[in-house]
Structure 1
Amino acid sequence: MKLIVANKNYSSWSLRPWVLMTTLGIPFEEEQVQFAGLDNHADFRRFSPTGQVPVLVDGARTVWDSLAIALYLGERFPAVWPADPDARAFAMCVAAEMHGGFSALRNDCTMNVGVRVEPRPMRGALQRDVARVAELLEEGLTHFGGPFLAGPAFTAADAFYAPVVFRIRTYGLPMGPLAALWVERMLALPAMRAWEEAALAEPYREEGHEQELAAAGTITADYRDSA
């Protein structure tokens, strides 16, 4: 299988299947395409029906959309979703909620792995999104006992919140005690560290993403390669 992703510093949607497959040891070849701007639809249509990433190519079959990829992989690799029915239902619900919601968090706290930001005061929709993320994390960790979101093993539930992990660190978003421990645990995963290392090494800067970052707050540290 081949997984097509975009720049690791910016591409939150690409991170989901990449960290899922890497952590679970699902073999794949990676192909990276570079963002040419905030709207890459025409360029990405050569390999993606939606003009977006990620895309999984399995022989003659193309699977697009991060949630579809997780569902597709789950049919072949049982570890993608929890074995316990209650935990599996929770994992699917929180993955779907993240996939379809949290637009204020996505728009106001754009993913940029290599920086730290003092964010602008949170109001309205962003406050609600951050509070809901904190609530979901605490609920899963409490109910299923951790150390991962839906129980003892890393699953797609954790993978779908992996981009939020970087956002929480970048913007210093408030989380409860269990959620804060989970964030540290996720950041320590070899797959997350490998993604971060590659993100920091990328010299490319895309103007649109950088403008979104500037609008989100004041950059207090930048650890990216300055080449």
Structure 2
Amino acid sequence: MAQATLSISSRNYGSWSLRGWLLCKFSGIDFEPVMVDSDDPSVRAELLLLSPSFLVPCLTHDGVRVWDTLAIGGYLNELSPDAGLLPRERVARAHCRSVSGEMHSGFSNLRSALPMNLKAHYPGFKIWAGAQADIDRIAAIWNECLSAYGGPYLFGAVPSMADAMYAPVCARFTTYDVPLDPACDAYRKTIMAMPLMQEWIEAAKTEPDEVEELDVEF
């Protein structure tokens, strides 16, 4: 039996659920994902972009419940410091926390204009100016990290908390055919090709095409 559970919502639409799931996978913790009913208010909050720190995803482990995605990452790093969720070196660790925190609290224009939908593809999608500013900032973060730490992941040879935080962005850029510079596009392809991402995407393909009434509530 798994030592922990992680509550998640839709794999196709749930960007925060994907982040929490990747963090657990990267850490190596033995856990069981538990799908929360789509009518649950926490699920609706996640899918409608109302909060990055609601109750989905929520990690339950050894009598502890952790529901904020950054808090999940921090908790898992304490459990498995050798997994590489946070870099060992102090400056790199602070940098990783900073770019992860920026993803956690920012980029609202990107979230609303390019919602996650893994099964969809919109070639030539027109991106409005507010979302483009978010895209430009994300590209700057990626280029800075890739240049500083050598890739192929944002902080070097193994995926970190930052990669879990930006993985749904890679999925959005793929869905909406977002043009990227060569370094950023290579990073996007690296993330999308990860076996864990492919596992999540294959599971998403088995879900219904739409979340009932979700488009109405936008």
Under TM normalisation by the shorter chain, which class is it?
0.7 to 0.9
Report the Cα distance in structure 2 between the residues aligned to 1:211 and 1:178, rounded to whole angstroms.
38
The size of the alignment, in residue pairs, is 206
Is the contact made by 2:43 and 2:56 (CA closer than 8 Å) also made in structure 1?
no
Percent of matched pairs sharing the same residue: 38
* SS of the residue 1:8 aligns to: coil
Q: 1:128 to 1:51 in 2, by over 3 A?
A: closer
Match of 2:78 in 1: 75
| Cross-structure match for 1:219 | none
Gaps of 5+ in 2: 46-52
Aligned letter for 2:127?
M
1:36-75 paired onto structure 2 within 5 Å: 36=39, 40-41=41-42, 52-75=55-78
Find the aligned partners of 1:52 and 1:174 in 2 and give their Cα distance: 33
Q: CA deviation at 1:131?
A: 0.6
Structure 1 contact 138–179 (Cα < 8 Å) conserved: yes
- The answer to whether residue 26 in structure 2 is matched with residue 26 in structure 1 is no
Evaluate the alpha carbon distance shift between residue 12 and residue 43 of structure 1 in structure 2; reply closer, same or farther with a 3 A threshold. closer
Q: Deviations over 1:49-92 (max 9, x none)?
A: x7631001113221111111111111111121111222211111
Q: CA deviation at 1:114?
A: 0.6
Q: 1:135 to 1:51 in 2, by over 3 A?
A: closer
- 191-200 vs 172-181, which deviates more? 172-181
Structure 1 ranges of 4+ moved more than 6 A = none
Residues of 1 paired with 2:59 and 2:71: CA distance? Answer: 10
Please tell me the residue identity of whatever aligns with 1:107: S
More strand by share: 1
What does residue 222 of structure 1 align with? none
Q: TM-score, normalised by structure 2?
A: 0.86
Question: Is the partner of 1:57 in helix, strand or coil?
Answer: strand
Preserved contact between residue 19 and residue 191 of structure 1 (Cα < 8 Å): yes
- CA RMSD in angstroms, aligned pairs only: 2.3
| Higher-RCO chain (CA-CA 8 Å, sequence separation at least 6) | 1
Q: 1:132 aligns with which of 130, 137, 151?
A: 137
Quote the offset at 1:203 in angstroms.
2.5
Partner of residue 49, structure 2: none
